[in-house]
Chains A and B, each alone.
Chain A
Amino acid sequence: MDWLRGLVYAFYAYVLIGWVLGGFLAFRGVNRLDPSAQSGTWGFRLLIWPACAALWPLLMLRYVRGHQQPPIECTAHRQAAGREV
């Protein structure tokens, strides 16, 4: 029971941190991670906020590492071709 209580409080902490960092990412951080977001509307930023809050570790990692472009998807053909031009 205690472990479950700890899990629930850890979940609340994750959500709280995510809400704050997610807000930063949605309104500022994504401009650096994806150039197409720089001209994004307020509505767009509000819509992506919940997922920024849920996926904040992934986005923060990219932000801290200085990524400035979205990743390129990995398909069998792209792998076989080897590289982009």
Chain B
Amino acid sequence: MSVGYGAVGWNRQKKRYDFFLVLGIALYLGAFMGAGAWLFPDVTAETLMIRAFGSAALILLHLILLVGPAARLDARFLPLLYNRRHMGVTMFLLALIHGSFSVLQFHAFGDMDPLLSLLTANTQWDSVSGFPFQQLGFVALIIFFLMAATSHDFWLVNLTAPVWKALHLGVYVAYGLVLAHVALGVLQAEQSPRLWLPLAFGFVLVASLHVIAGWRERACDREQPEEMGWVKVCSPQDIPNQRGVVVTVSGERVAVFRDDQRIMAVSNVCQHQNGPLGEGRIIDGMITCPWHGYQYLPENGCSPPPFTEKIPTFQVQIREGSIWVKSLPLPAGTAVEPAVWGGES
């Protein structure tokens, strides 16, 4: 939470995670280049490095894209989601090394400026077999740079989470460009399906997990009908103690929490990275975001001092055994009297 910014928010778990991430990449790169040198002795070291770093970045990009929907479908993947930022920056660095070696090998030693050479060496835009695939990779790399460079809480705060998220959704554009870059580039010469199959499998896996996760969340995003400015949610006993349920009201999800007998509602959108607060828990009396642990007091939607984040709150009633939420949100940080439920917790 934002009192003062540090470089990297490492803790013991993140250090362990990063250790295994770097170890896995080092082993992959070593195995790829070792096997490549043995199987294809005529291939130069630069070419092997270009392929090793490029393929490592491609695999990591698939993992990054799979983590989001996998965590929506199964909470056991949430720890990977917490650490996805480091995975993303690492993927950019691998792609940068791949791109830098490629420019050095193919564009740096002529009379022309390397970037100008990259953009003009091949302009067969109407040809499939000779398509200028390197330009596609260059544009994808620029998108990855913007994403990696803004992967700090400072940028989340100063761009605001919706703008930051919109920028980072550029990963899907970059993914499409990378698929085209690989398919129109290295795989053009590939006659056997041994490289095409993993690429197609990766795409189908990423696409299908996104569709399944989106389908499951569809019902949650259906706007609930109002009755005299109030929206019926569920029975208090339907909410496990110190947990929440999510309902869509006023164009956005609302998280309704139960803390013993007290029922409270806040906007579901965490101010940090727009994490889903309703999927979090009440810990030490505070709503705790499942993504990065940002906390808010359920009575007023404010982060505990000295933190300054605050989210909109909602009035809550219990009528005829059901929880009702007022459809009009209150300004962020407004204190609301919790509804008290007489049932057993």
A80 — which chain B residues lie within 8 A by C-beta? 250-251, 312, 328-329
B-facing mask of A52-65, CB < 8 A → 1, else 0?
00110001000000
Interface-located stretch among B111-119, B194-202, B210-218: B111-119
Contact A78 B158 (CB under 8 A): no
Instruction: Tell me if B5 and A50 are in contact (CB < 8 A).
Output: no
Say yes or no: is B41 at the interface (Cβ < 8 Å to chain A): no
Q: In the complex where A37-B5, A74-B160 touch, is A84 in contact with B331 (Cβ < 8 A)?
A: yes
CA distance A12 to B298 in the complex (A): 50
Q: Is A13 in contact with chain B by the CB < 8 A criterion?
A: no
Q: Per-residue 0/1 for B1-26: is the Cβ within 8 Å of any A Cβ (1 yes, 0 no)?
A: 01111111000000000000000000
B310 at the interface (CB under 8 A from A): yes
Contact indicator B152/A44 (Cβ below 8 Å): yes
Determine the interface band of chain B, counting residues with CB < 8 A from chain A: 35 or more
* Cβ 8 A contact of B310, one of A1, A44, A84: A84
Q: Which residues on B sit within 8 Å (CB–CB) of A39?
A: 3-5
> Using an 8 Å CB-CB cutoff, how does the interface string of A68-85 with B read, 1 for contact, 0 for none?
001111111110111111
CB-defined contacts of A70 to chain B, threshold 8 Å: 157-158, 160
| Chain A residues at the B interface, C-beta cutoff of 8 Å | 1, 4-5, 8, 11-12, 30, 33-34, 36-44, 46-48, 50-51, 54-55, 59, 70-78, 80-85
Please, could you name 17 A-B residue pairs with CB atoms under 8 Å apart, sorted by A? A11-B115, A33-B158, A39-B4, A39-B5, A40-B4, A41-B7, A43-B6, A44-B7, A48-B152, A48-B155, A73-B161, A75-B267, A78-B332, A80-B329, A81-B331, A81-B332, A85-B331
Seen from chain B, the residues whose Cβ lies within 8 Å of a Cβ on chain A are 2-8, 113, 115-116, 119-120, 145-146, 149-150, 152, 154-155, 157-158, 160-163, 250-252, 254, 267, 269, 271, 310-312, 328-334
